[in-house]
Structure formats: C-alpha cells, structure tokens
Amino acid sequence: MRAVTHFIEKKMKLVVNQEKSKVRVAKQTKFLGMTIFLGMIVISAQAMGKAMDKVEELTKRRTNIPIEKSIKEINKWYKGWSSYFSMTQYPSQFATVEAHIRRRLRTRLLRNMKRKKTIAKEYIKAGVKKGTAWKTAYSNKKWWALSHTRATEIKFSNRWFEQQGLYIRSKEEQAHWFDVKEWIKIT
C-alpha cells in the first residue's frame, strides 16, 4: 500500500484518500459494482441483488399497464444496466437477470388471465396436450410456481418474449465473454 501510494502521490502528483483506499483480497473487493473472482471480472453479488430488486420494481404483478409498455420500460433500464456491466466475463449473469424478468412477466400474464379454464385453453392453443394443459391449470399451484411450469414456458416461450421486443444481452457475443453455459455464483 505504501509503495503504491508513494508512486501515485510523488510520480503522478495525485492525492490518495487514505480512508477509502485499502489493500484486500480481490474476492472481497467491489469496485463500481464489479469484483474479481478466481481471476475473472464478474458482476458483484450486491449489484446482481440490486438488479433483481429493480426487475421486481419494473414488473409489478398487479398492474393495468399493457405488457408492451412494461417491456419498453424494462428494455430502457436493462439496456443501460447491461451495457454498464458488459465488462463481465460471464454472460450467464445477464441470462440470470433475463430469466427473472421473463418469469416475473409470465406470472403477471397468467394472473391477468384470471380463470383456470382460460389458462388451460390458452395452453392448448399454444400446443400443450389437452391433459397436460388442464392438469397444469388446475394444479392448485400459486401464480409464481405456475409461471415455472413446462406448459407456461411453452405458451410464453423465450422466443415469444423476444417477438414482443424484450431485449436479450446474453445472446450477444463479445470477445472477452465465456460461453453463456458457464455459470458462476457469487456470494
């Protein structure tokens, strides 16, 4: 710390704030929402938590805002957020946020259908087998659990959300990114 401070203050003629400056293990250091974990640049757990909170704020379950308008608002926030954090080496972190957005929207879409009979008919229209559609719709699962069923994911597939205009950053390819299948869990 002394050597770095000396270099910065004497050679670069800058002032080092001793209260903010620390020498730490990289895993324990968060800088502008990023951290170094196993030698890789990743989005910090705190920044991911704040992103999930923002997703919940933008995807309120009980609202009369049309889904198209909600997607525009989500895109506006998510494009900026994901651009800021695009230096991460794990696009799977973006995939995690995107999956949370889709699940929150699926929950809202199901809730807006209101009746189990309507939900079952919509599943059938989407290509779900009749028996599975009725069984899933009448399964007594709460909205959140129902949003993560195979029938719901067929009805409101990832492709369906893309067709509605939902922005997907994790599918982009950047030279410094690992494959999206490589997951990392930061605690």
Q: What is the tens place of the pLDDT at every residue in 84-129?
A: 999 999 999 999 999 999 999 999 999 999 899 999 999 999 999 9
Q: What is the pLDDT of residue 85?
A: 95
126 is in which domain, residue-wise?
Answer: 31-163
φ, ψ for residue 36, nearest 5 deg: -105, 125
Q: How far apart are CA 56 and CA 93, in angstroms?
A: 17
Indicate whether 66 belongs to any domain: yes
Report how many domains make up the chain: 1
Per-residue confidence (pLDDT) for residue 19, from 0 to 100: 86
pLDDT at 28: 63
Residue 70 lies in a domain: yes
CA pseudo-torsion sign 47, 51, 57, 60: negative
pLDDT of residue 147: 96
Residue 38 inside a domain? The answer is yes
Residue 147: inside a domain, yes or no?
yes
Residues with pLDDT less than 50, the chain: none
> Is residue 171 one of the residues assigned to a domain?
no
pLDDT for residue 68: 94
Q: What per-residue confidence (pLDDT) applies to 71?
A: 97
According to the model, what pLDDT value does residue 163 have? 97
Model-level pTM?
0.85
Is 71 inside any structural domain?
yes
Helix ranges (H only) for the chain are 2-6, 45-58, 67-84, 92-113, 116-125, 130-137, 143-146, 150-155, 158-163
